[in-house]
Structure 1
Amino acid sequence: MRFSLLLMVCALCSVSQAALTFILGAHENVCFGVFTDQPRTSISYYFAVQSGGAFDVDYTIKNPRGEVIVTEDKQRQGDFIINADIAGEYELCFSNSMSTYAEKVIDFEIKVENDKNDFKANMPDQPNAKPKAHIENMGKTVDKIDQKLDELLRAIQYYKTRNNRNQATVKSTESRIYYFSIFEVLLMVGMAGLQITVVQLFFKGSRKQLV
């Protein structure tokens, strides 16, 4: 399966972003593509396996030439930035081929940002405009706020992932305790039945010797 997000970076929109949650079935491969028509573009990816199996997945990132940039196996989450020097479509593929039956729920986010310096350099001078230094300071403040918001969002996503994994661990532990308790009860009943049978055979043998 393959999906194209088509996050095109243009001169009027410096940042494009998309986030989604999807289910990756057993033995299934899913690819997402993001397109940029400008070089010197920053593409950031984030994903986290929320549930399923051992909370791991294989992933591969390819550039527009089809060359593999990053490939890793059995990762629970990933947070990385690619400097896209080549214009075209970049592809991120997830694979659950190692799983025999467990499907995975994955949170996934892509953010594309072009080179802001080129955009600022092309801004025309306007009459009665504020000093450039003041405008640059405002831009830096906005960038810091945006960075802090991204960090806050990632922290929330991290705690969400940890909470889901802890809940899955608790449920798995409860299930194991439940089945172990049933097995222990059955074992005790079986041992009691075996002891009763041995005692009955012992007394039957003693009676035959007395006769």
Structure 2
Amino acid sequence: MAVVFTLLLSFLSFLQLASRAHAVALTTSIAANDRVCFYADVDKAGEKIGFYFAVQSGGSFDIDFEVREPSGKSLLDGQRERQGDYVFTANVVGEYQFCFENDMSTLTEKLVDFDIMVESEPRREPSTKPGQISEQTSALEESMFRLNTMLLNVKRTQKYFHTRENRGFDIVKSTQNRMFWYGVLESLGVIGMAIFQVYVLQTFFTKTGRRYKV
């Protein structure tokens, strides 16, 4: 019973540590020549911030981005990036700014998936209470953290394939539209050429108002 009780306490403590992390996963559309910003609060210095984004559709699948501290200092920035995955330590308490800018495009709207995660680093404290088996507790925590890491890797892989699927669908849709309009223009060209040929033939066989039969 003591072992089961210890494992249960360890599992509950792990859930408590996991609850310290909060994340925001969103999808936003950014119009041409537009700038969109999102914000995340950091309660104490030393927290980890994870920032992921990927352009799903629009133009060449690229976007400008910038991450700023509460003081306005730029931490990360990039131009014409298709996707990014960053983790950094927040040394300043306050509101962090995550901005996307679509200045390079004059007509095309961009669709961007992004994920902002703020979490505290979990610290393990050795148990001094009698009756608790620290070796089993430590082994259980190690297994949970490994499982968490594996789940994060699966999540990143899913995001990668989701992005590839959306980009492929956007390319196929764009190609279909181009083929459609190319077919329309080709048909109009053939019709115009036929009308022009009829006109030329009628003009060639007409002379001073008299029509000759052949």
TM-score range relative to shorter protein = 0.7 to 0.9
Distance 2:38 2:128 in 1: 40
1:10-25 alignment to 2 at 5 Å?
A: 13-25=19-31
Question: CA offsets, 1:151-201, max 9 Å, x none?
Answer: 111211221121111111111111111111111111112222222222222
Which of these residues, 133, 137, 142, is aligned with residue 140 of structure 1? Answer: 142
Where does residue 5 of structure 1 map in the other structure?
Answer: none
Question: CA offsets, 1:38-87, max 9 Å, x none?
Answer: 22222111112222333222110112332111111122221111122333
Distance 2:43 2:114 in 1: 22
Distance 1:43 1:149 in 2: 18
> In the alignment, does 2:41 pair up with 1:39?
no
Distance 2:140 2:191 in 1: 76
For structure 1, which segment, 101-110 or 43-52, has the greater mean C-alpha deviation from structure 2 after superposition? 101-110
Where does residue 130 of structure 1 map in the other structure?
Answer: 133
- Superposition RMSD in Å: 2.6
Q: Which runs of 5+ in 2 are unaligned?
A: 1-15
Where does residue 7 of structure 1 map in the other structure?
Answer: none
1:1-211 alignment to 2 at 5 Å?
A: 13-116=19-122, 119-121=123-125, 125-131=128-134, 133-205=135-207
Aligned length: 196
Deviation at 1:90, TM superposition (A): 2.0
Distance 1:12 1:57 in 2: 32
Using the size of structure 2 for normalisation, the TM-score is 0.80
Distance 1:148 1:124 in 2: 27
Q: Which runs of 5+ in 1 are unaligned?
A: 1-9
Relative distance call for 1:137 and 1:12 in structure 2 (3 A) is closer
Distance 2:139 2:17 in 1: 22
Q: Percent identity?
A: 34
